[in-house]
């Protein structure tokens, strides 16, 4: 397999909001793995082995006359990804206490300084869902708690839980690049006690957690919620994101069926991150 070859799409979007968020969500459903948002463009990446010429046929926003979206694509070698990353990535600060930065950025003395290099993985903190999940984690007392980061991407959420005192942490992602990259970022942040696995909910078996974080997408969340609930300790917390404001009702309905209690949610540019307890 040509795991080191990706197809890069470069989209120009007018108006950018909310079109870019919808575009990214639909591309993610189609198999695109990583995204970079620039001022007036969206860059999207998919492995060449998962790509076909008609990959965009089912992307509905491209047919929406309310938005003007133009695009082109090209092959990109994996070894060129770092140059793309360095050119586009800017550090972010969450709630004035958590900084997500690349190795080539200088620290600024915040309480939680997380260094990542994504290598095609999703979850840099720039996307609304990751940003809100970081906010939720900052508000929790998770010292000595057991944690599952499902759909872990770069591993940034698992790393923050470790920095906040969680001691038994698993990070799981179905994508091989995410699995490898999370391992690298965990070592880079000196959090080697975090266990990283490649796979899906089938890996959970009978293990229990005090906190489960799942930042994926609506359909996968609805499918996997029963497995999350089975793996959640009594008085545990479930954080869900990767869906839109209009999807919150259906997520709530499923959680109620599973005897979870909705506690609060954050919203950012029509994306939601919700907190549930059992």
Identify whether residues 114 and 222 lie together within a single domain: yes
151 is in an annotated binding site: yes
For residues 31 and 111, membership in a common domain is answered with no
How does pLDDT run across 145-203, given as a tens digit for each residue? Answer: 999 999 998 999 999 999 999 999 999 998 887 898 899 999 999 999 999 999 999 99
Q: How far is 128 from 134, CA to CA, in rounded Å? A: 10
* Residue that finishes a domain, picked among 27, 57, 79: 79
* 242 carries a ligand binding annotation: no
Answer yes or no: do 59 and 120 share one domain: no
Does 130 belong to an annotated binding site?
A: yes
My answer on whether 96 and 42 are in the same domain is: no
Nearest to 78, CA basis, from 127, 45, 102: 45
Q: Which domain holds residue 212?
A: 84-277
- For residues 34 and 170, membership in a common domain is answered with no
**Mean pLDDT to the nearest integer, 48-66:** 93
Residues 138 and 231 in one domain: yes
- 63 and 198 share one domain: no
Write the Ramachandran bin of 10: left for phi over 0, alpha for psi from -120 to 50, otherwise beta: beta
**Residue written as token pair 């999807």:** 247
Q: How far apart are CA 260 and CA 215, in angstroms?
A: 18
The owner of tokens 């990583």 is 34
CA distance 156 to 187: 12
What is the rounded CA–CA span in Å between residue 241 and residue 133? Answer: 7
Instruction: Report the domain count for the chain.
Output: 2
pTM (two decimals): 0.76
In the chain, % of residues over pLDDT 70: 92
Residues 201 and 184 in one domain: yes
Q: In terms of domains, do 26 and 137 share one?
A: no
User: Which tokens sit at 48?
Assistant: 């060449």
């Amino acid at each position: 397999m040509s795991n080191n070859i990706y197809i890069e799409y470069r989209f120009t979007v007018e108006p950018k909001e909310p079109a870019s968020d919808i575009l990214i969500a639909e591309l993610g459903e189609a198999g695109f793995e990583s995204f970079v948002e620039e001022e007036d463009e969206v860059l999207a990446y998919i492995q060449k082995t998962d790509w076909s010429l008609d990959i965009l046929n089912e992307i509905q926003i491209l047919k929406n006359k309310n938005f003007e979206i133009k695009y082109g694509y090209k092959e990109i070698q994996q070894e060129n990804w770092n140059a793309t990353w360095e050119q586009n990535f800017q550090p972010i600060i969450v709630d004035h206490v958590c900084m997500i930065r690349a190795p080539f950025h200088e620290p600024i003395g915040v309480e939680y300084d997380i260094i990542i290099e994504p290598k095609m993985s999703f979850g840099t903190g720039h996307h609304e869902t990751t940003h809100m999940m970081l906010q939720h984690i900052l508000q929790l007392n998770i010292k000595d708690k057991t944690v599952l980061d499902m759909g872990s991407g770069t591993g940034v959420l698992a790393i923050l839980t470790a920095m906040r005192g969680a001691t038994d942490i698993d990070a799981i992602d179905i994508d091989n690049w995410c699995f490898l990259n999370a391992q690298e970022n965990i070592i880079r942040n000196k959090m080697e006690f975090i266990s990283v696995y490649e796979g899906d909910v089938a890996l959970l078996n009978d293990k229990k957690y005090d906190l489960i974080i799942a930042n994926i997408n609506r359909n996968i969340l609805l499918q996997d919620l029963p497995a999350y609930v089975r793996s959640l300790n009594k008085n545990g917390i479930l954080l869900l994101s990767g869906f839109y404001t209009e999807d919150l009702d259906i997520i709530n309905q499923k959680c109620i069926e599973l005897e979870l209690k909705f506690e609060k949610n954050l919203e950012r540019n029509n994306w939601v991150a919700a907190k549930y307890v059992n």
